[in-house]
Amino acid sequence: MMKKVLLCVCALVTTLSLAACSGAPAASSASTPASVSEPASSSTAVSSSETQSEAASDTADYTAYSINFDVPEGFEQVDATGTGASVIYQAEDGSNINVVIMENDGSLASDVSMEDLVGPIEEAFSQQYGEDVHLLDVAFTTGNIGPCPYYRLDYSVTVAGVDLYQTGIGISADRGYTISYTDTNYGRWRDVFEESISSITPVEK
């Protein structure tokens, strides 16, 4: 199952990041991605209470901020070579959090529509697995985290016999960030992922 999950990661990160940002990959090393915190138990992690109140003003220049978020306990960094992701954190059951960091080309994550994402993701999965794949229970929102425009796409999907629950967050900041959460275990990580998503914080550079 692990190979199937990693293939799903490839399809997801490629379509989410390319649909939301046409810039080139950022030059930072995959082993030390910009602005990703240590696991949530670490004292260096930014708390979710700072997300929109203390860390950034809603009227600030979004390009002056990088993005920080808490990585939950139970997720360890793994080799992201060949996946299209800058970094991947993975649990023992194959559930994962991956980050793609692209150079900022001036496009805004909040300008992305649900149609911009759903079609390309379904097509990527269908091409990857040679079968018709359709996203279910799709939910889409846009807005701002502090000064930084974002979109959020939630859905469930079954590919190659694996049931996945996925959430993709695209954020415009100093660079274009796409943070994708994949739960392979029937919603086991849903609450944990929501805590991590709530911790996403713009941090002034």
Q: How far is CA 152 from CA 27, 93, 122, 167, 168, in A?
A: 25, 24, 17, 7, 6
* pLDDT (0 to 100) of residue 84: 82
How far does CA 110 lie from the centroid of its chain? 15
pLDDT in tens, 57-75: 555 799 999 999 999 999 9
CB atoms within 10 A of CB 150: 26
Q: How far is CA 127 from CA 116, 134, 144, 163, 170, in A?
A: 17, 12, 33, 18, 23
Contact, 132 vs 52, CB < 8 A?
Answer: no
Residue tagged 């999950």 (tokens): 5
**Farthest CA pair distance, the chain:** 48
pLDDT in tens, 90-119: 999 989 999 999 888 888 888 989 999 999
Q: In the predicted model, what is the mean pLDDT of the chain?
A: 78
Contacts of 48 (CB under 8 A, 6+ apart): 70, 195, 198, 199, 201
User: Quick one: what percent of the chain has pLDDT higher than 90?
Assistant: 48
pLDDT category of residue 124 using cuts at 50, 70 and 90: confident
Strand partners, 65: 204
* pLDDT (0 to 100) of residue 134: 93
Determine if residue 189 is left, alpha or beta; phi over 0 gives left, psi from -120 to 50 gives alpha, anything else beta.
alpha
Residue tagged 């293939």 (tokens): 7
Strand partners, 143: 150
* pLDDT (0 to 100) of residue 37: 53
